[in-house]
Amino acid sequence: MIRFRACGNILKSKLHLGRHLENAAVSTDILEGQLTEPAPPLRILPGMLDRVTHGVAGHSTASQELAVATAAAFVHAPVVRYTLRDCLVHRGGVEYAGGFVAKSRKLLDRFPLEHIATEARKSYCMSLVSHVYFGHWLTDACATALLADEAGDIILDARPDWPDTAIYARAFGFPTTGLAPMRVSELTLYSDYSQGLLKRQRYRTLANRLRESVGTKGNSSPPMVYLRRGTSGVARLIAHEDALCERLAAEGFDIVDLKADFADRYARLAAASILVTVEGSHINHGFFAMSPGSSVITLIPADRFTMWGRGVANAFGLNYGCVVMQPSNDGYVVAPDEILRTVDLARAH
């Protein structure tokens, strides 16, 4: 019975008899092969990377992230489409014959109790990270949705505690699905996490749709923006941020709060040639709003250092730089002068 397919898949996994996606697919299509391209230099002050102590716990090490920060080339993995038969899609992910594609690691999510709808054909756009991080929902799931043959075929889950997902999905022209389980006769899934040429074409499509939907209302905001993240997501509070904002405002920065009205926030970001903000998924608001050739400078904790934004910024045609913040008892410490010198560095290229 399809409702309990997870039982067999869990048993096969424990016995090392599970089938990998590549072996289970009835067809595999390479939509874009592996690509290698030169990486634009990271805009960063000398000695700044010496502050890095740790990567992101559970995801990467400091040495791995530093390798990305100093890489002279980007290597983009292939984009692959897999077609499978007779799959169960539920809140935990996808159960296919002999294997599981996870969106959630909660065991109970794999055993749906609700009515299971029947669908002939669907394209599954979600992954574990696109349901955990808002930024990955935008850059992974929404970009993947453009690979579907028909918009009505996509399975794109919008978390209700991420209010902006509904605005983006509507602007992109995507229907969003709930968590109701379904049995799908023909399901397509994708390996689509790289930032190659095919991805950046889709980013342009999505950014253009967003601009047409929201518009900028003739905004004439200052060309430098500091996006204040606040307490959203994993805590990365900046010590004495009020004083930092006062200094940046005196230097001509527009101080934008992440909680601002979406259309107003978008217009002010779209007008920016320089965006400074603490590292986090909210940076993607800038990626999708700013014009190519603009610069994004992230304030990244030394004990939670990550370079995921470098490749994504490049795919949007944006320059990317960072300032490494050091921890203190009051939050992360960042010197305004280091931010301003990094801004000058970004402008010089």
pLDDT at 106: 87
Beta strands in 279-340 (DSSP E): 295-301, 319-328, 331-333
* Among the listed residues 332, 228, 306, the one whose alpha carbon sits nearest the alpha carbon of residue 42: 306
Per DSSP (E only), the strands in 139-240 are: 154-155, 182-191, 224-228
* Confidence label for 245 from pLDDT (cuts 50, 70 and 90): very high
Q: Do residues 103 and 126 touch, judged by C-beta distance below 8 A?
A: yes
Are 117 and 87 spatial neighbours (Cβ–Cβ below 8 Å)? no
Q: Which residue has the higher pLDDT, 128 or 27?
A: 27
Residue 220 pLDDT grade (very low, low, confident, very high; cuts 50, 70, 90): low
Domain boundaries, the chain: 2-31+79-193, 38-75+217-348
For residues 114-123, average pLDDT = 94
**pLDDT tens, position by position, 301-310:** 999 999 999 9
Interhelix angle 197-214/308-315, rounded to 10 degrees, is: 70
- Are 211 and 270 in contact by the 8 Å Cβ rule? The answer is yes
- Point out the least confidently predicted range of 76-90, 217-231, 280-294: 217-231
pLDDT tens across 27-73, in order?
A: 999 999 999 999 999 999 999 999 999 999 888 999 999 999 999 99
Q: Residue for token digits 């342009």?
A: 204
**Hey, is 266 helix, strand or coil?**
helix
User: What's the angle, vertex CA 74, arms to CA 196 and CA 20, rounded to 5?
Assistant: 65
pLDDT tens for 317-349 read 999 999 999 999 888 999 999 999 999 999 876
| Spatial separation of the C-alpha atoms in residues 167 and 150, rounded to whole Å | 20
Task: Determine the pLDDT at residue 16.
Answer: 87
Average pLDDT on 251-275 reads 94
From the options 3.40.1350, 3.30.70, 1.10.20, 3.40.50, give the CATH code of 38-75+217-348: 3.40.50
Percent of the chain beyond pLDDT 90?
74
* Pair of tokens at residue 325: 């913040």
**Which 3 state secondary structure label does DSSP give 76?**
strand
Q: What predicted TM-score, i.e. pTM, was given to this entire model?
A: 0.92
DSSP state of 217: T
| Per-residue model confidence as pLDDT tens digits over 174-201 | 988 777 899 999 999 999 999 999 999 9
Residue found by looking up tokens 């505690």 in the block: 161
How many residues are present in the chain? 349
What is the rounded average pLDDT of the residues 242-255?
Answer: 95
Residue pLDDT, tens place only, 64-101:
999 999 999 999 999 999 999 999 999 999 999 999 99
Does 158 have pLDDT greater than 90? no
Closest CA to 321 of 68, 41, 43: 43
pLDDT band at residue 163 using 50, 70 and 90 as cut-offs = confident
Q: Which helix (H) or strand (E) holds 134?
A: helix 134-136
pLDDT exceeds 60 at position 234: no
**3 to each of 55, 86, 157, 234, how far by Cα in Å?**
39, 12, 20, 35
* Residue 236: pLDDT over 90: no
pLDDT at res. 105? 81
Q: Residue 317, Cβ neighbours under 10 Å: how many?
A: 16
Predicted local confidence at residue 330, as pLDDT: 84
- Cβ neighbours, 10 Å, residue 65: 23
Q: Which residues contact 30 (CB under 8 A, 6 or more apart)?
A: 78, 79, 80
pLDDT at position 320 is 97
Q: Any idea what DSSP says for residue 42? A: P
115 pLDDT band, cuts 50/70/90, is very high
Give the chain's mean pLDDT: 92
